[in-house]
Amino acid sequence: MAIVDPTGNFTYRQLLRDVQTLRYRLSPDGMDLNEARVAFLCPNGYEYVVAQWAIWAAGGIAVPLSTLHPVQELQYFLEDAQATVLLFHPDHAATVEALPANLQARLQLMDVQQSIALASTTAAVPRDLHLSGHRRALIIYTSGTTGKPKGVVSSHCGVQNQVDCLVQAWQWSSHDRIHHALPLHHVHGVINALNCGLASGATVEFASRFRAEDVWRRWIDGPQDLTLFMGVPAMYAKLAQAYDRMPKATQVQASKACRQFRLMVSGSSALPSPLYHRWRDISGHTLLERYGMTETGMVLSNPALDASQRREGSVGYPLPGVQVCLMDDQGQTILPKPDQPGELLVKGGNLFREYWSRPEATRKAFTADGWFKTGDSACQATNGSWRILGRNSQDILKSGGYKISALDIERELLAHPLIRDVAVVGAPDQVLGQQVAAVVQVLPEHCSTVTSLSLEAWCQPRLARYQTPRRFKILTTDIPRNAMGKVSKKAMVEHFFM
């Protein structure tokens, strides 16, 4: 089986047939779409997969859109990518109708389900396109954590390299069955979870959307045939909270159900240590943390085979075919020395081609000798494994001459038993440049016991004085996070500390 979704089971044979059908609906004369941007708006499920492959088979560039985005966001992506066709799932027809009329007029709108169903009436003219691997295949928009999302263009080769290195490193095979509950408009969901599965002949079982209770229900009550799960830390946190709400007997079943998996992966943002340990207690699994970006695909990963070799707080080692090094503040590439931080640089066949319609941004993203500048600060331990210290632009705070990793401080605050979530930011300060500040979400029943003073006391034995937040904003509501569970720290600073 290729795909299982809430509507049914679909074999690889059926997938191939429907891909061919849709391909000829996209290009009735069988001609090459010549890198036309074809956007598609489908929920997690079969039609998404058919759309993606049909666009590739017809020679178009696939632009996946998120069903979670409001109309204005979709408009931004469609206009930025200069899409000429929009494939949509009928469940989202109302969203398509809500797009501005002038935009609709510029788009060829096609209902994916209807197009597949009309197969028998379409006289398909088989014609094989010879697509070079260097042609553009995919535009995925970055998560927009630090600004407007940028369209990241990958070639067919780039996508293939991203898939190949993970299939090899994480030992994907046709025996795998992944429970897929990630959004399908970012590399985590599109490349790591979906396309690695399809490239291996595995089964991809979609949850229509992530809800912790539903995920647990499937694991406990469904056939015990799942082998892989991938999530962002916020998903594991929600699963752990749902577990805590279960009656004892169900908890026992839940922990037992986790034995069906051979591997559970976390990424897209830093995995907090308390969650790493909590998840091990609940599931018996040591989460495999990995690091990557839309522009690079996956770069660093803990080992898949030997869980005892995975290190808490570490994202592991370079994946096959990927090279990394560091750059110092003067812009010089340096050989990493143990625990010496620098900006992480990446080379390899997995890299993107360009930012869509942003030649200047593309040029600035590379060093003169072709390294991609991730904008993330990292350091290597003596054993060769890598640690991500955070984004230079928002997680590396510069306070009174110190360079401080917000992630290190978040780790210590998250170890506090009454704190549920935290975002450490740099608030502007006339003397220090930036002042360490923390937005802290506490469990509502404890909101009166947790105060700025008690939090400072918690930090005192754990952090240096210069790392200890000078200001706290204590919330009982969720800290706002985007679809990938990431916090826009710029917005946090503006909202709470200006």
Residue ranges binding Mg ion (CB under 5 A): 142
Residue 294 found at the interface with ligand ATP (CB under 6 A) = yes
25 binds, among Mg ion, ligand ATP, none (CB under 5 to 8 A by kind): none
DSSP symbol at 194: I
Cβ proximity of 196 and 177 under 8 Å = no
354, 376, 408, 421: which one contacts ligand ATP (CB under 6 A)? 376
332 C-beta neighbours (distance < 10 Å), count: 10
374 binds, among ligand ATP, Mg ion, none (CB under 5 to 8 A by kind): ligand ATP
For the CB of residue 295, give the shortest distance to ligand ATP in the complex, in Å.
7
391, 462, 470, 471: which one contacts ligand ATP (CB under 6 A)? 391
Site for ligand ATP in 198-257 (CB under 6 A): none
Facing residues of 64 across strands? 40
Residue 189 found at the interface with ligand ATP (CB under 6 A) = no
378 binds, among Mg ion, ligand ATP, none (CB under 5 to 8 A by kind): none
For the CB of residue 174, give the shortest distance to Mg ion in the complex, in Å.
34
Rounded (10°) angle between helices 273-283 and 248-257: 90
DSSP symbol at 60: P
Task: Give the closest residue to 304 by CA, choosing from 319, 288, 291.
Answer: 288
Residue 158 found at the interface with ligand ATP (CB under 6 A) = no
Q: Which whole-number Å values give the CA distances from 461 to 272, 396, 414, 464, 492, in the listed order?
A: 19, 22, 15, 8, 27
Task: Give the closest residue to 92 by CA, choosing from 106, 72, 73, 112.
Answer: 112
How far is 190 from 184, CA to CA, in rounded Å? Answer: 5
**Which lies closer to ligand ATP via its Cβ, residue 296 or residue 399?**
296
66, 115, 143, 467: which one contacts ligand ATP (CB under 6 A)? 143
Site for ligand ATP in 58-77 (CB under 6 A): none
Report the chain's C-alpha Rg in angstroms. Answer: 23
Q: What is the largest CA-CA distance in the chain?
A: 74
For the CB of residue 490, give the shortest distance to ligand ATP in the complex, in Å.
10
Cβ proximity of 116 and 50 under 8 Å = yes
Residue 36 found at the interface with ligand ATP (CB under 6 A) = no
Residue 21 found at the interface with ligand ATP (CB under 6 A) = no
Stretch that binds ligand ATP, among 14-22, 75-83, 107-115, 263-271 (CB under 6 A): 263-271
Stretch that binds ligand ATP, among 144-152, 251-259, 320-328, 434-442 (CB under 6 A): 144-152
How far is 77 from 347, CA to CA, in rounded Å? Answer: 28
Sign of the C-alpha dihedral computed for residues 455, 457, 462 and 467 taken in this order: positive
388 binds, among ligand ATP, Mg ion, none (CB under 5 to 8 A by kind): ligand ATP
Stretch that binds ligand ATP, among 114-122, 177-185, 290-298, 326-334 (CB under 6 A): 290-298
Residue 179 found at the interface with ligand ATP (CB under 6 A) = no
Task: Give the closest residue to 334 by CA, choosing from 379, 384, 401.
Answer: 379
365 binds, among Mg ion, ligand ATP, none (CB under 5 to 8 A by kind): none
286 binds, among ligand ATP, Mg ion, none (CB under 5 to 8 A by kind): none
**Which lies closer to ligand ATP via its Cβ, residue 143 or residue 195?**
143
Cβ proximity of 370 and 347 under 8 Å = yes
**Which lies closer to ligand ATP via its Cβ, residue 142 or residue 286?**
142
Q: Rounded to the nearest 10 degrees, how much is the dihedral formed by the CA atoms of 441, 444, 447, 450?
A: -50
How far is 28 from 21, CA to CA, in rounded Å? Answer: 10
Interface with ligand ATP (CB under 6 A), residue total 25
121 C-beta neighbours (distance < 10 Å), count: 6
270, 304, 450, 455: which one contacts ligand ATP (CB under 6 A)? 270
Residue 303 found at the interface with ligand ATP (CB under 6 A) = no
291 binds, among Mg ion, ligand ATP, none (CB under 5 to 8 A by kind): ligand ATP
E strands, 370-487, in order: 372-380, 386-391, 396-399, 402-405, 419-429, 433-442, 471-475
For the CB of residue 310, give the shortest distance to ligand ATP in the complex, in Å.
12
Residue 273 found at the interface with ligand ATP (CB under 6 A) = no
How far is 60 from 33, CA to CA, in rounded Å? Answer: 5
For the CB of residue 44, give the shortest distance to ligand ATP in the complex, in Å.
18
Cβ proximity of 264 and 288 under 8 Å = yes
Cβ proximity of 380 and 386 under 8 Å = yes
33, 190, 304, 315: which one contacts ligand ATP (CB under 6 A)? 315
For the CB of residue 142, give the shortest distance to Mg ion in the complex, in Å.
5
Residue 388 found at the interface with ligand ATP (CB under 6 A) = yes
Stretch that binds ligand ATP, among 6-14, 97-105, 262-270, 347-355 (CB under 6 A): 262-270
Binding residues for ligand ATP, rule: CB under 6 A, are 142-147, 149-150, 186, 267-270, 289, 291-294, 315, 374, 376, 388, 391, 484, 486
